[in-house]
């Protein structure tokens, strides 16, 4: 078989057998079992979307759909600033890299943010932190997220900034919880196996207890990054909180 780069070079036609063989492999029960155990080797959660769309994506005139773009994954390794118009308000959002090496930049760049939008993944309850493994440590990704969340709550300059917790990837969590028992990763969970609502409630409660412990008020929402209607409502929700905080800081509330 020819090297993989041969199939994807700009000046070579796509071999139709690539699509056929990809679909045949994906239909194999052994491959499906490997996919279900993707948490054991850090398989990207968007893999099934792109593999099942192979015929469309590998077509010569392919253009990415909105869904394709929303399902792309690219780690934020440094600060990325974006501006959004939400109704009559223009918001500037600074996306800070979540990787361990990037966290030192957070405080230096934004000592007094108007609001903190903390994004956490529900779907990573069964995965370990890759960076920690390279350092000889085995740490659950949700636990890592909880540690970061607590550090944000504790940092004095952030005390007057409202915290908005977005528990993301609830759609992927719904699929995973059927195969991967939450109790296996969090023995303190006493709800029924495979119960999406109880599982979400449990994970959300872990963050809530930290906020209560530190006397911080926060609000949370379950989200799906690929659901545009869901995120439109989230932006409106964030806008209202930011507006109230700006008015409060100005002494008008």
Bind-site residues for Mg(2+): 76
Give the burial string for 2-21 (b: 16+ CB within 10 Å, else e): eeeeeeeeeeeeeeeebbee
Give the burial string for 51-65 (b: 16+ CB within 10 Å, else e): eeebeebbeeeeeee
Contact 13/59 with Cβ under 8 angstroms?
no
Q: 3-state DSSP: the chain helix, strand, coil percent, rounded to 5?
A: 50, 15, 35
Which residues define the annotated binding site? 70-76, 168-171, 225
Q: What is the DSSP letter of 128?
A: B
How does strand 89-95 pair with strand 80-86? Answer: antiparallel
Which residues define the annotated binding site for GTP? 70-76, 168-171, 225
């Amino acid at each position: 078989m020819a090297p993989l780069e041969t199939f994807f070079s700009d000046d070579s036609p796509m071999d139709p057998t690539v699509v056929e063989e990809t679909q045949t492999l994906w239909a194999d029960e052994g491959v499906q079992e490997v996919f279900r155990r993707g948490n054991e080797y850090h398989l990207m959660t968007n893999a099934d979307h792109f593999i099942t769309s192979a015929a469309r994506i590998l077509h010569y005139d392919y253009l990415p759909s909105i869904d394709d773009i929303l399902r792309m994954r690219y780690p934020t390794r440094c600060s990325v600033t974006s501006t959004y118009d939400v109704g009559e308000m223009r918001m500037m959002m600074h996306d800070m890299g979540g990787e361990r090496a990037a966290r030192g930049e957070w405080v230096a760049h934004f000592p007094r943010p108007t609001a903190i939008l903390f994004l956490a993944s529900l779907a990573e309850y069964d995965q370990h932190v890759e960076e920690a493994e390279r350092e000889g440590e085995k740490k659950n990704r949700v636990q890592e997220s909880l540690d970061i969340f607590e550090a944000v709550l504790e940092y004095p300059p952030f005390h007057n900034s409202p915290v908005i917790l977005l528990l993301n990837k609830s759609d992927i969590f719904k699929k995973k919880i059927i195969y991967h028992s939450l109790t296996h990763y969090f023995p303190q969970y006493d709800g029924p196996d495979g119960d999406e609502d109880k599982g979400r409630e449990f994970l959300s409660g872990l963050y809530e207890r930290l906020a209560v412990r530190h006397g911080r008020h926060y609000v949370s929402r379950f989200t799906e990054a690929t659901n545009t209607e869901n995120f439109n409502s989230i932006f409106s929700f964030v806008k209202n909180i930011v507006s109230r905080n700006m008015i409060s800081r100005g002494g008008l509330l």
